[in-house]
Chains A and B, each alone.
Chain A
Amino acid sequence: MQPDTTADALPRGNRLGHLIAQNIGLILAGAILLIAIVGFIVIYGIEQQRLPGNFELTSTVNSAVPLVFAAVGQCFVVLTKGIDLSVGGVVDLANAMAAVTMGKSLASALGWSVVILLVGAACGLVNGLLVALGRLQPIVVTLGTLSIYQGLAIRVLPEPGGMIPPAFTNFLVNPNAPYALIFIVVLALAWSAFRRSRAGVDLYAIGNDEAAARALGVNILRTKIIAYMLDGTLAAAAGLFLAASATAGDATTGNSYTLSSIVAVVLGGVSLFGGRGSAIGAIAGALITTLIVNILFFGHVNPLFQSFYEGVFLLIAVVVGGVIGGTIRRRPK
């Protein structure tokens, strides 16, 4: 027995319209990135009387990679409606371990890299267990583990030093050409595969409405632990890139990554309320953040005022983005 249809077929919302409205955060992040790139080229051109070349591109990419990885890590946790303040601690720990263990050969450096990534995953596991199993607030848990991981990092490398094999530096952040872009592309591809997996869908479901997700049979515990472990692993990767750039270790340089990864995620259109946004946006956000620092540098802004302008810029971006996003979503269909 085929029942009556509930209504006649109505005209559908236009496909492109849906695409724009549902990805407005990502689109805005792309637009800001474009503006930042143009802004950088203009400022650089005025200052140096020439266009930025290979060297500038390479150094910009290399300085952006650690933040790109930290921001994507942060993005996993933010999508579950959580937040990870321990990112900086894990970056420090990875950085310190790299400087102490790697020695001189590329082989040993790569071997230790795997160990360090596993340590990062373990840090994430601790966060994930406390949050998901202990039902504690992510902000409190990761504030606590931030101090713990920082403490461990200082313990591993009490004073700046140690060494990173030059071959490892050339492999991760080659100073001659922007090869590091490859890592960013691989990260983006890995994300889009994750997005199309069971865990990826569950991650979004939890961020949308945890109670509903549970009622629908989503495994909350497993999914959250996966999110925090991926986050920890990527933060450790950020630490490795940072160590490779500096060619030595420092157990405190990673601290700033906690806040800048959150800034990058927000600029990338990922909602801190969970369930909305993507790691592609987080990557764009990390690139924007790096470019702003470069623009301020070439604009001869006093380094002491740098964070002042970063803050102003973040607020402008968030307010303007919110207004534009709100207008598009409210637009009559």
Chain B
Amino acid sequence: MPAVPAVAAIAAQSVSKSFGGVKALVGASIAISPGSVHALVGENGAGKSTLIKILGGRITPDAGGVTIEGEPAHSGIAASRRYGIGTVFQELTLLPFMTVAENLLLGREPRGRFGLIDRAAMPEVAERELAALGITHIDPRALTADIALAERQIIEIARVILAKPRILLLDEPTSALVEREVAWLFGQIRALRDGGTAIVFTSHRWGEIAAVADRITIFRNGTDVGCFDTIGEDEAITLMTGRQLEALFPVRTPAPDNPPVLTLRGVAGEGIAPLDLALSPGEILGIGGLAGHGHRSLFFGLFGAPGFSQGEIKQNGRTLRIRSPRDAIRAGIALVPEDRKSEGLFLPLKIRDNLTLPILARLSQFGAIRRGAERALVDDTIAQLAIRTPSPAQPVGVLSGGNQQKVLLGRWLLTKARILLLYDVTRGVDVATKHEIYDLVAKLAREGYAILFYSSDAEELAHLCHRVLVMRRGAFVADLPGVGLTAEAIVSAAMRESAHAA
């Protein structure tokens, strides 16, 4: 660990940032010394990516500021380039239908006759520069759309490193890399650090953090909760997850002892390894783990959007083919996604119309909707789910997020779906409504609905579910019984390199 100079290469002082009422950062501070590697760790949504974008001048904080070598820094892409800041974003910024060489050399292309860009020379130049970084397996003439995801991530990193940044910001640079590639990256990071570059990086893999970080800052709920030279994994996880109100969650009912209504055997798809799973009526089966480890493919695969590429799904012992959402709906499977705006509700339409849209055939006689029957059904559902609205004629768009979720859930209940896939339904929902949703989920389970429940909030999984399966890199790495389960156990199973059942 190099000596800490008095002035930080880059620092943020009490920065806050909100996006449409959601507080991403609340008075967060961090200081990075030149010639050091500083890891940012925290759960999803703790504000790490937002802080990196603020440090990199991509977004301006609502309050607080950034200093570079003690001087207040300007925001903006041009300014950050002037300061010698290089950022590797979580979302890749490669241009798909341009070659690897064109992407690598963008903005500093070799010039030939008449000052024009020497396109013919670009592949050789790129090849040379990549080779100097020890990359020899990526073809500079290929289109970036045609190379593998890990290769794209390496090119993205190489592009930033080649600009010889004085400050290097890496937002989950290893998410698509295998071990050998991570080792390569860490070699580059150490070389830059030894040359005096200040480096910030985020990762969800504790082994990587321990291997390369000189300092570790832990984030929770949009602010820094501790900065350490060394810290044990367990202590870090406790700090990351924190403690929440036990009273928020309903009393857990004992796990049912029913035969499974839905069994998956060897299903696989985009980003998920062959998985086995059994879900019983009355069960709340939690799916945990860090974002981007295959949960989404599992849930959307079960809903046929798109379906799994292989494997077998059985419902009550009968083989089920789910190739589109129509198949899933017909089998009584319903999906409530986290992004209800783009995946389910018609915001300008009335609550009533949103609820009854899929069952209008059942409510109609000779093609005309029976308004009386419709009203009774809608009023029932609003009461049963405690949807807070002055009238069924309100447009769904004016409801709060949690109440929108309830409308979507209500629609599926009306279609007589018996298998509910709840995908991070409490995301961005206020605490009071979260509490109502937990009660509702517990009540539906008691009524015999089979519920598959994913949440990015480990606390929720620990307190609500009968059983939690933890996913990492597309596979289940732990099967944790619900009784006595803690959020720490789930997060630690998701992060530990050699996970084992608790």
Contact = CB atoms under 8 A, between A and B. Distances in A.
A179 B93 CA distance: 46
Interface in A257-277: 275-276
B243 interface: no
Contact of B106 (A22, A197, A200, A205): A205
Contact of B102 (A13, A197, A201): A201
B119 A196 contact: yes
B141 A201 contact: no
Contacts of A1: 187, 190-191, 194
Interface string A93-114: 0000000000000000000000
A23 to B, nearest CB: 11
B142 A13 contact: yes
B184 interface: yes
A197 B116 contact: yes
Interface residues of B, number: 42
B114 interface: yes
Interface in B185-225: 186-188, 190-191, 194
A213 B93 CA distance: 7
A269 B137 CA distance: 31
B93 A215 contact: yes
A215 B116 contact: no
A15 interface: yes
A228 interface: no
Nearest to B117: A196
Contacts of B135: 5-6
Given A22-B143, A193-B114, A216 B106 contact: yes
Interface string B81-102: 1000000010011111111001
A235 to B, nearest CB: 25
A7 B58 CA distance: 33
Contact of A208 (B98, B116, B181, B187): B98
Contacts of A13: 139, 141-142
B180 A205 contact: no
Contacts of B190: 1
Nearest to B183: A4
A268 B109 CA distance: 27
Interface string A48-88: 00000000000000000000000000000000000000000
A9 interface: yes
A209 interface: yes
B117 A201 contact: yes
Contacts of A135: none
B188 A3 contact: yes
Contacts of B180: 4, 6-7
Contact of B77 (A5, A215, A329): A215
B298 interface: no
A303 interface: no
A201 B187 contact: no
Given A3-B184, A22-B143, A208 B114 contact: no
Contacts of B95: 204-205, 208-209, 212-213, 275
Interface in A300-333: 329, 333
Interface residues of A, number: 37
Contacts, number: 102
A155 interface: no
A contacts with B: majority SS: loop
Contacts of A333: 146
Contact of A9 (B93, B97, B136, B143): B136
A84 to B, nearest CB: 21
Nearest to A333: B146
B383 interface: no
A216 B93 contact: yes
Given A7-B137, A209-B96, A215 B184 contact: no
A205 B98 contact: yes
B154 interface: yes
B111 to A, nearest CB: 9
B134 interface: yes
Nearest to A19: B141
A215 B78 contact: no
Nearest to A276: B97
B372 interface: no
Contact of B141 (A9, A10, A15): A15
A205 B94 CA distance: 9
Contacts of B109: 201
Given A3-B134, A217-B78, A275 B106 contact: no
B141 A217 contact: no
B107 interface: yes
B94 A4 contact: no
A21 B184 CA distance: 31
Contacts of A6: 134-135, 137, 154, 180-181, 184
Interface in A191-226: 193, 195-197, 200-201, 204-205, 208-209, 211-217
A205 B146 CA distance: 17
B217 to A, nearest CB: 25
User: Considering residues B96, B98, B186, which has the most beta carbons from chain A within 10 angstroms of its beta carbon?
Assistant: B98
Contacts of B141: 12-13, 15, 18
B93 A5 contact: no
Contacts of B102: 201
A291 B395 CA distance: 56
Contacts of B137: 5-10
Interface of B: 58, 77-78, 81, 89, 92-99, 102, 106-107, 109, 114, 116-119, 134-137, 139, 141-143, 146, 154, 180-181, 183-184, 186-188, 190-191, 194
Given A1-B187, A216-B106, 7 more contacts: A6-B134, A6-B180, A9-B137, A201-B106, A204-B98, A209-B95, A216-B93
18 contacts: A1-B191, A3-B134, A3-B183, A3-B188, A4-B180, A6-B180, A6-B184, A7-B136, A7-B137, A18-B141, A22-B143, A196-B116, A196-B118, A208-B96, A208-B97, A212-B95, A215-B93, A333-B146
Question: Closest 5 CB pairs between A and B?
Answer: A3-B187, A208-B95, A196-B116, A212-B93, A7-B137
